Amino acid sequence: MIAGANRRIPALAGALLLALLLAGAIIAGLSRDAAPQAAAVADAPARPWAMRAGAFDPPHAAPEFSLSGSDGTPVTLARYRGKVVLLSFGFTYCATVCPTTLSTLAQARKGLREAADAVQVVFVTVDPARDDPAHMREYLAAFDRSFVGATGTSDALAAVRTQYGVTAEKHGTGPDYVMTHTSSIFLIDRAGKLRAMMPFGHDPADFVHDVKLLLAE
Amino acid sequence: MRPSWKRLVAVALSLSLLVGLGWAALAPINVASRDALFEIPPGTSARRMAGEDLDILPQTIRLTLGVNDVLVLRNADRVPHIFGPTLIMPGQSFRLPFVQPSTYSFLCTAHANGQLNIIVEPAPAPGWQRLRWRWRSLIDKGGG
């Protein structure tokens, strides 16, 4: 009995060793691609990856435009050089998307505290027939008095949309028509470069995060 | 009584299988890259002008958090393209990370119905989901 047990101990140890080696081989085989490339990702520049919005890499100059401002002054990007511009497209009769976006951007500005003055929200209308500068000023002031609305002729606004890849389409007839439009917000840095696009639905905290990144440069 | 080597090998194989399965079901997923890359190849514009019907971006893109949750759209063509949710310049990439499981819809003129859907699924939970994910990725690797 004792002699048999003694023989079994090295045999079991051998089986266990074999099991561990096999398990190690399985695990190594399954995870073999992960390590070297993970190191490559860690070495890559962090900036575009750090943003919560969709980042353009490399960034290009944001297309310039000149439209009528709700504050009575022409709205151009050059006017806001040195500030981060949050550019959105919409219309004041919008029932859901635009009020949500504008409210989010107003909260983001509050969240930025003393840095809020380094941020300019520009709201470009897709509905010039109803959105004149005076109406836009009144509408935007309900969210944040610093917000600037921009309007112009249908052609001028369409040209701006084309440059930013923004779509807008009229649905319905009569006074209650609605516009479907791109709901994303463009982030333009202090040098006037189009850096990122935040899809609709993000929290104010995400804007605060990304604006701080851009202001820290 | 002499130990049966066959039995010992069987025990070793079973143990290693159990350890392997346990690891596959429980170990955190550590993928090399979380990018889901879609690229507009060079010459796309010329081929479209020639009347070719090119569908580069699927109507619906499925992403999984922690696995491939960064949508990367790259324009390798020589002209700007509206690609998914945005306009991308030649040689430029657009890198959009997702952190919330949901279905996202973007207006996209490149699609017949004008819409691109991105379904973001939660990260595979430890256990059966993670095991299934590893099995699928192993099959995908095997299939090239």
Confidence of residue A46 (pLDDT cuts 50, 70, 90): very low
pLDDT of residue B133: 85
Min distance B7 CA to chain A CA atoms (Å)? 9
Find, in chain A, the residue whose alpha carbon is nearest to that of B137: A30
Contact B95 A54 (CB under 8 A): yes
Residue A23 has its nearest CB partner, among B19, B70, B106, at B19
Angle at CA of residue A83, ends A77 and A86, nearest 5°: 70
* Below-50 pLDDT ranges, chain B: 144
**Chain A partners within 8 Å of B97 (Cβ):** 49, 51-52, 54
Contact A54 B24 (CB under 8 A): no
Q: How many residues does chain B have?
A: 144
pLDDT of residue A37: 40
What pLDDT digit, counting tens, does each position of A74-107 carry?
999 999 999 999 999 999 999 999 999 999 999 9
A143-177 burial code (b ≥16 CB/10 A, e <16): bbeebbbbbbeeebbeebbeebbbbbeeeeeeeee
Angle formed by the axes of helices B5-26 and A2-30, to 10°? 40
Residue B20 has its nearest CB partner, among A23, A36, A51, at A23
Question: Would you tell me how many other CB atoms lie within 10 Å of the CB of residue A54?
Answer: 26
The ipTM estimated for the assembled molecules is 0.79
Question: Would you tell me how many other CB atoms lie within 10 Å of the CB of residue B70?
Answer: 16
pLDDT of residue A81: 97
Contact yes or no for B73/B56 (Cβ under 8 A):
no
**Chain A partners within 8 Å of B11 (Cβ):** 15, 19
Question: Would you tell me how many other CB atoms lie within 10 Å of the CB of residue A112?
Answer: 19
Residue contacts between A and B (CB atoms, under 8 Å): 120
Contact A7 B134 (CB under 8 A): no
Q: Is A34 left (phi over 0), alpha (psi -120 to 50) or beta?
A: alpha
What pLDDT digit, counting tens, does each position of A4-15 carry?
555 666 666 766
pLDDT of residue B2: 60
pLDDT of residue B106: 82
Share the mean pLDDT of chain A: 86
Min distance B34 CA to chain A CA atoms (Å)? 10
Contact A8 B3 (CB under 8 A): yes
Min distance A56 CA to chain B CA atoms (Å)? 5
Min distance A185 CA to chain B CA atoms (Å)? 11
Contact B92 A41 (CB under 8 A): no
Confidence of residue A146 (pLDDT cuts 50, 70, 90): very high
3-state secondary structure of A93: coil
Distance between CA atoms of residues B33 and B28, nearest Å: 15
Find, in chain A, the residue whose alpha carbon is nearest to that of B10: A15
Contact A23 B16 (CB under 8 A): yes
State pTM to two decimals. Answer: 0.80
Tokens describing residue B116: 């691109």
